Structure 1
C-alpha cells in the first residue's frame, strides 16, 4: 500500500510542475465514495465508469481497485455508505422523547425531507432494484444498518398502543413500508407524475403539502 500511496501523492499541477497530496487514505476513500455515489446514481452499475471516477477524484483506477477490489466492490461500498448516512441521521432524531403520534409524524417528515434532499439515495435504490437486490443481498452491513429503524418504529408504535392512541395488530415493518412508499414515490416518480397530471412536484408549496399529507396518512393508518 505504501508504494501505491506514494505514487498517488503526486499529481500534475498547472504549469508542468508536481503538486503534493496529503497521504490520507480515509479522505481518499471518502472522496472516491462521494464521486462514485453520483456516478452510480446517475448511470447505474453498468453505465458507471471507473475511469471517470478516477479522473474526478484525481486518483487512479489502481488506487480505486486497491481500496475497493473492483467495480462491483465500489458499488457495494457506495450502497452501504448511502444507507449508513440516512440511518446515522435518523438515530439523532430522539424520537423516544416525544409522544407517539408526534414521534411518528417527525419520522415521516424527516424521511420525506431527507429523500427529497438526497435524490442520489433514491436513484441508487432504484438501480439496485433493477439488479433485483443482487448486491444488497451480499451485504450484512446493510441488513444490520436497517435493524435500528424497525426497532425505532416498533418502539413508537408499541408506546402508542399502550397509551391507547394507536390500534393494535399492525406490523412495524408495514408501517416502515408505508412511510418508505409515500416518501420514495414522491421523488422517484415526480417527473412522470408531474408531467401527466400537470403538477409542480418540486415547488416548495407542493412539497410542504405532500409532506403534511404523508404524515396525516400514516397517523390515520395506525390511529385507534
Structure 2
C-alpha cells in the first residue's frame, strides 16, 4: 500500500510591494538625474537658452518623464533653483556650528561657503541667470524665505555668543554679514577666468585658492572682533 502523497506546496509569490518600491527608487533616481542635468543646462545657457531636449538627453531620461515629474520648463527651472538653495542650506546645517566656539564657528562657515562656490561653479552661474531674470522665478518659490531664516538666526546666535564673552562686536546685522561672506567666495569663483587674465595669475591654482580662503576668513573675523578702546 503506497503512502499518501504530501500536499503540493505552492511556490512563493513575489511580494506585491516589490514592483512599486522599485518604481519609486527609479523615480527618485530619474528625478535627481534631471535636476543635475538641469543645473548644467540652465547654468551654461541661461533660462531662455536652455533646451528641455538637451536636459533630457544629458539626464538619460525620456522627455515625457521630465514633463511628468516637473511639468514644464519653467517649473523645472524653479525646481533646480530651489534644489540648489536647499543643497547649500543642508551643508550649512551639517556643520553643527552650535558645538563650536564663536571664532571656530565663523571660521567654519566662511570656509564652507567659499568651498561650496568653488566646488560647484554652476551655482554662481545659476544665480547669475536668476539675477538676469530679476529674480522673477525666485519670487514664486513660497519656501525660499523660510529656507534662509534658520541661517540668519544661526549667524545671529554666533555673533551674540561672541559678544557675550567680549570678542565680537554687537552691532552686526546677520543678513549683511552673510552677504559679505557669500560675496568673498562668489566674486572670486564667478570672475576667476577674467581675473586670472587681468592679473596674470592662475586663480584656480591651489596656492591662490588657499590664500584666498584664508584671507576671506581673516577679513570676516577682523570685522567681527571688538575694537580696542
Q: TM-score, normalised on structure 1?
A: 0.87
Residue 113 (structure 1) aligns with: 115
Structure 1 residues 160-185: Cα deviation after superposition (integer angstroms, max 9, x where no partner): 11111011111011110110111110
Aligned residues: 203
SS in 2 for 1:59: coil
Any residues of structure 2 matched to 1:64-83 within 5 Å, and which?
64-83=66-85
Distance 2:192 2:59 in 1: 31
CA contact (8 A) 2:110 2:217 kept: yes
Q: Larger Rg: 1 or 2?
A: 2
**Once superposed, which parts of structure 1, at least 4 consecutive aligned residues long, lie more than 4 Å away?**
none
Measured in 2, the distance between the counterparts of 1:69 and 1:99 equals: 46
Question: Is residue 2:56 matched to residue 1:54?
Answer: yes
Aligned mates of 1:129, 1:82 — CA distance in 2: 15
The structural deviation recorded for 1:93 is: 0.6
Task: Note the C-alpha offset of 1:45.
Answer: 0.6
Q: TM-score, normalised by structure 2?
A: 0.85
Deviation at 1:192, TM superposition (A): 1.1
The range that moved more, 55-64 or 119-128, is 55-64
CA RMSD of aligned residues (A): 1.1
Question: Whole-Å Cα distance in 2 between the matches of residues 176 and 56 of structure 1?
Answer: 34
Query: Could you tell me which of 157, 160, 163 is aligned with 1:158?
Result: 160
* Structure 2 gaps, min length 5: 1-21
Which of residues 124, 137, 140 is equivalent to 2:139?
Answer: 137
Work out whether residues 36 and 59 of structure 2, in 8 Å CA contact, stay in contact via their aligned partners in 1.
no
Whole-angstrom CA distance in 1 between matches of 2:60 and 2:195 = 39
Alpha-carbon separation, structure 2, partners of 1:56 and 1:168: 49
Work out the CA distance in 1 between the residues paired with 2:97 and 2:132: 33
Which sections of structure 1, spanning at least 5 residues, go unmatched? 1-21
2:33 maps to: 31
**Contact 2:35 / 2:80 at 8 angstroms: preserved in 1?**
yes
* Aligned-partner SS, 2:172: coil
Q: What corresponds to 2:200 in structure 1?
A: 198
